[in-house]
Amino acid sequence: MFVHNGIPALWVIPALPALGALIIFLFSKAMSPQTAGRIACGAVGLCFGWVAFCSSSLLGLPSADAHNAPYFHQELWTWLSAGIVQSKVAFLFDRVSMVFTIIVSGVGFLIHLYSYAYMDDDEGERRYFGYLNLFVASMLILVTADNAFFMFMGWEGVGACSFFLIGHYYSKSENCAAATKAFLVTRLGDIFLILGLLLCAKLVGVSFLNLSGFESVKEMEVVKGGWGMSGHALLTIAALLLLAGAAGKSAQLPLQTWLPDAMAGPTPVSALIHAATMVTAGVYLIARFHILFVASGTGMTAVAIVGAATAFYAATCACVQTDIKRILAYSTISQIGYMVLGLGVGAFSLGLFHFFTHAFYKACLFLASGTVIHSLHHEQNIYNMGGLKSKLKGTFAAFLLGSAALAGFPGTSGFFSKDAILWSALTTGFGNPVFYGVGLVTAFLTAVYSFRLIFVVFYGAPRKDIHVHHPSPLLVWPLLVLAFFAVTIGVLNLPGFVGFKSLAWEHFFHPIFGEFQAEPKEGWTHAHEAIFALIGAAVALGGILVSYTLFGPNAKMLPEPAGNIGDVENSTPKPYKSALANFLFHGWGMDQLYAAVFVRPVKRLSMINAWVDKVVVDGVYELIGAIVRAFHSLVVSFQNGRVGRYAMVMLFGVVAVTILVMSIIPR
């Protein structure tokens, strides 16, 4: 049942966590919170085991040639079948899916273990684990579906679970607002995605195995049937729509505003959903549809622009935040911007590689910050921390390693993956020096803000007298595991100039992306690459140095706060004296902009609409009713029991009939 002809049953991958969620929901009243946690961890652990088995089976298959990677494919039943909407409940497990499933189930498993300790004293623990398992199931559907429509099921499922989990601490209304915002903004992206998928379905269908059809659509000059557009234009439209969908889910410009607010959820959720897995769904989508984007050309440029702009935007915002999780959230946006930039310049496998490394170090950072928060009794403002280095040793180690990877400290995984993307941004056919320059500046900012965290949180003197309670081991050792990978995983894709095992990752994905993977243009050599790697390393180290001078133990704090910085909340209008810093603190004012342009008008429209319905539309019927009632009271007044009135009505009738008769009968 589970292994047939050497193909492991793929449906088991999402089914295991789904089963866990089902059990937790069905019997939640009968089980203790601890049992729920154990079931959830067990389900994801089993799932990870099965994923490992599937992966090893896949890797064990002989690779046919450089252009056809082996994959597992399994169809269960027809899901959608109407017109162009054709979709089966079917799973595809190729190398891209493999990478994603490993991260989702592996990192997910560690985060589940961590949650087991983190959520220990929470009243909603059963609910939490149920939704967390459901999330993992949805995410696994997303990355193992064999067609885009079935993928969309997971896509929306993770959005819903993200909504549930952001709103986990439901009694605070700002958490509800954050959850709603996250859901609505991503759903706005999803609408574009739906339209894009429908367009794709109309053009070639959405099965991932048949996407090569986009190449032929490109050739069509003017599409028949009243669409009046060249195939190339249609491809570009489809690509842009998909990009919008990806931007919604992956918090890219201009739909990024939900992610910083989404930090209202429990920290493990932020680690799993809003750092490691769900937000990278957009990367997955673009990687899956790379043929479409490359065929469009313009689409690639758009992707690269969005990625670069987002990376820079979020990095600037991250530099001035005071909430530890918010800093990491902006950092996530920025890092996904890098991935998208990588995809946009044609380095698809490098985008995936950055996803891979980012999942480890960002999950590590989030969990470490969770441990800090947990130890400090839910204090999140970094300026109320300080000097934690000696009190939280394990956590500090993990945080330091994670930050080093995030900052691109030479030798860490983040260094390799980021540097490879920057190299591609400069050298491939889709790249240009502007992208490289933006990426480099962003890398510098990344180093600054990531070490700002280290210096402010772990060094110096404690700024506020908070009792630090010792974290349980389960809150520490998953961090160390992740930190280990965060540092070392870069060996999977050492740069080309290293020589030993270099570009293993790219070669691994070569059969998938094939000729669509953009290679450096003529004239760029390994020597150049080494020089640029040195530049990248220098920038990262310089950033750390700058960070030390700005935020180190002896530095005067910059930018200068307007009041007591420890009291700053995310909604504080002017935390700093500098207007620029305040502008950055509020994410370039985009929240306010959207509130003014979309949210408030829609709310007002809704009120107006309710009024219109009550007064105008219903008013018409009420008017009809009033007229009828007027007739009614007229008629009733004839029937008031007074003989005189009856007689008068009769008289009126006589008069009327007479007039009628006289007018009808000819003289």
Site for other proteins in 6-65 (CB under 8 A): 25, 28-29
Residue showing tokens 């669409």: 227
Instruction: Name residues contacting other proteins, limited to 124-143 (CB under 8 A).
Output: 127
Structure tokens at 423: 């190299």
The count of C-alpha atoms lying within 13 angstroms of the C-alpha of 428, restricted to the half-sphere facing its C-beta, is 27
Nearest distance, CB of residue 299 and other proteins, angstroms = 18
Structure tokens at 377: 């009794």
Which of 65/123 has CB closer to other proteins?
123
Which of 164/458 has CB closer to other proteins?
164
Q: Which residues pair with 4 in a beta bridge?
A: 7
Residue 83 lies near other proteins (rule: CB under 8 A): yes
Which of 56/637 has CB closer to other proteins?
637
Which of 560/613 has CB closer to other proteins?
613
Which of 129/355 has CB closer to other proteins?
129
Which of 523/666 has CB closer to other proteins?
666
Which of 61/605 has CB closer to other proteins?
605
Amino acid identity of 150?
F
Residue in 529, 509, 143, 144 with CA at minimum distance from that of residue 343 = 509
Nearest distance, CB of residue 317 and other proteins, angstroms = 26
User: Looking at 23, 136, 194, 345, which residue binds other proteins (CB under 8 A)?
Assistant: 194
Which of 66/650 has CB closer to other proteins?
650
User: Looking at 19, 160, 233, 498, which residue binds other proteins (CB under 8 A)?
Assistant: 160
The dihedral formed by the CA atoms of 232, 234, 239 and 242, expressed in degrees to the nearest 10: -170
Residue 227 lies near other proteins (rule: CB under 8 A): yes
Selected range binding other proteins among 38-46, 276-284, 382-390, 617-625, rule: CB under 8 A: 617-625
Nearest distance, CB of residue 362 and other proteins, angstroms = 27
Amino acid identity of 221?
E
Nearest distance, CB of residue 303 and other proteins, angstroms = 21
Q: How far apart are CA 216 and CA 232, in angstroms?
A: 10
Residue 175 lies near other proteins (rule: CB under 8 A): yes
Residue 609 lies near other proteins (rule: CB under 8 A): yes
User: Looking at 538, 593, 617, 626, which residue binds other proteins (CB under 8 A)?
Assistant: 617
What is the helix (H) or strand (E) element at residue 26, kind and residue range? Answer: helix 12-26
Nearest distance, CB of residue 422 and other proteins, angstroms = 37
Residues shown for the chain: 667
Secondary structure of residue 230 in the 3-state scheme? coil
User: Looking at 125, 146, 156, 323, which residue binds other proteins (CB under 8 A)?
Assistant: 156
Structure tokens at 158: 């993770």
User: Looking at 68, 210, 212, 606, which residue binds other proteins (CB under 8 A)?
Assistant: 606
Q: How many CB atoms lie within 10 A of CB 55?
A: 19
Which of 434/611 has CB closer to other proteins?
611
Query: By the 8 A CB rule, do 132 and 89 touch?
Result: no
Applying CB under 8 A, the site for other proteins has a residue count of: 81
User: Looking at 88, 202, 374, 510, which residue binds other proteins (CB under 8 A)?
Assistant: 202
Q: How many CB atoms lie within 10 A of CB 194?
A: 18
Residue 637 lies near other proteins (rule: CB under 8 A): no
Which of 122/519 has CB closer to other proteins?
122
Instruction: Name residues contacting other proteins, limited to 639-658 (CB under 8 A).
Output: 640-645, 647-648, 651-652, 654-655, 658
Instruction: Name residues contacting other proteins, limited to 205-224 (CB under 8 A).
Output: 223-224
Nearest distance, CB of residue 590 and other proteins, angstroms = 19
Q: How far apart are CA 288 and CA 210, in angstroms?
A: 11
Q: How far apart are CA 391 and CA 579, in angstroms?
A: 36
Q: Can you list the pairs that 513-517 forms with residues at least 24 positions away whose Cβ atoms lie under 8 Å? A: 513/290, 513/348, 513/349, 514/66, 514/67, 516/290, 516/291, 516/294, 516/346, 516/348, 517/346, 517/347, 517/348, 517/349
How far CA 145 is from CA of 59, 81, 93, 150, in Å, comes to: 19, 16, 8, 6
Assign residue 514 a region (left: φ > 0; alpha: ψ between -120 and 50; beta: otherwise): left
Which of 2/646 has CB closer to other proteins?
646
Instruction: Name residues contacting other proteins, limited to 234-273 (CB under 8 A).
Output: none
Query: By the 8 A CB rule, do 291 and 393 touch?
Result: no
**DSSP track, 428-456:** STT--HHHHHHHHHHHHHHHHHHHHHHHH
Q: How many CB atoms lie within 10 A of CB 623?
A: 10
User: Looking at 1, 30, 173, 500, which residue binds other proteins (CB under 8 A)?
Assistant: 173
Residue in 215, 513, 240 with CA at minimum distance from that of residue 351 = 513
User: Looking at 123, 221, 515, 522, which residue binds other proteins (CB under 8 A)?
Assistant: 123
Contacts of 366 (CB under 8 A, 6+ apart): 267, 268, 270, 271, 275, 325, 328
Query: By the 8 A CB rule, do 146 and 208 touch?
Result: yes
User: Looking at 48, 100, 183, 458, which residue binds other proteins (CB under 8 A)?
Assistant: 183
Selected range binding other proteins among 287-295, 315-323, 514-522, 603-611, rule: CB under 8 A: 603-611
Which of 596/651 has CB closer to other proteins?
651
Residue 633 lies near other proteins (rule: CB under 8 A): no
Which of 64/611 has CB closer to other proteins?
611
User: Looking at 71, 72, 100, 163, which residue binds other proteins (CB under 8 A)?
Assistant: 163
